């Protein structure tokens, strides 16, 4: 009688099961299919840039999602784990290619949240100006505010013309906000 482990799709672990005294064993592809419906690599496509792009479901930020019904895991984290082992507590998996859907293990590195934020700033991926979620001004409005201030108009009068406060106008003309313009 052979011995083996059977994948338990409810608890996401391995079980010893036998039927009529015969034990069954599933390979990794079959275990993944039991949990996710299809093997992990069936959702991957190689891009021209060398990324392995996730073609399954994604979240609002473009990261691949797996196991929605039984405990979601981002696809790039799963890819990293398959290639390198577990992810230590307190660390996240960063993309060196800046492609959220990428699952290429060579493009994935461990790092802290601070390192990830530094990457975002250095690679100019941080939303700023009118691309920020709560922006009340456009780039052109900011230029106009600076022009009006340069021509001698008071910050209070400028603020009355735009959907911002006098203190916001002050930060804009002193180039402490909207520094990229």
Residues 6+ apart with CB under 8 A from 92: 110, 111, 112, 113, 116
Q: What is the model's pTM?
A: 0.54
Percentage of the chain beyond pLDDT 70 is 70
Strand runs (DSSP E) across the chain, as ranges? 6-8, 13-15, 18-19, 22-23, 44-46, 52-54, 65-66, 73-74, 92-95, 108-111
**pLDDT above 70: residue 69:** no
Which residue segment(s) compose the domain that 14 sits in? 1-35
Residue 56: predicted pLDDT: 87
Instruction: Please give the angle made by the CA atoms of 42, 18 and 70, to the nearest 5 degrees.
Output: 40
> What is the tens place of the pLDDT at every residue in 83-114?
888 899 999 999 999 899 999 999 999 999 99
> What is the tens place of the pLDDT at every residue in 109-140?
999 999 988 888 788 676 566 655 567 888 89
Task: Return the CATH number at 109.
Answer: 3.90.75.20
The total number of structural domains in the chain stands at 3
Asked whether residue 181 is domain-assigned, the answer is no
155 and 142 in a common domain: yes
47 and 14 in a common domain: no
Asked whether residue 141 is domain-assigned, the answer is yes
- Distance between CA 16 and CA 135 in Å, rounded? 57
**pLDDT above 80: residue 17:** no
């Amino acid at each position: 009688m052979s011995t083996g482990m059977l994948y338990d799709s409810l608890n996401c672990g391995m079980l010893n099961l036998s039927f009529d005294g015969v034990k069954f064993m599933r390979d990794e592809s079959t275990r993944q299919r039991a949990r996710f419906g299809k093997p992990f690599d069936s959702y991957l496509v190689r891009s021209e840039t060398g990324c392995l792009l996730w073609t399954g479901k994604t979240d609002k930020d473009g990261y691949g999602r797996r196991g929605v019904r039984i405990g979601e895991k981002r696809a790039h984290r799963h890819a990293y784990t398959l290639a390198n082992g577990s992810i230590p507590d307190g660390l996240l998996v960063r993309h060196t290619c800046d492609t959220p859907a990428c699952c290429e293990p060579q493009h994935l590195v461990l790092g802290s949240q601070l390192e990830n934020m530094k990457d975002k700033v250095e690679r100019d991926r941080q939303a700023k100006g009118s691309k920020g979620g709560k922006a009340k001004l456009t780039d052109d409005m900011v230029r106009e505010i600076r022009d009006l201030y340069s021509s001698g108009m008071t910050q209070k009068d400028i603020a009355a013309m735009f959907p911002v406060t006098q203190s916001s106008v002050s930060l804009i003309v002193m180039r402490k906000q909207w520094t990229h313009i």
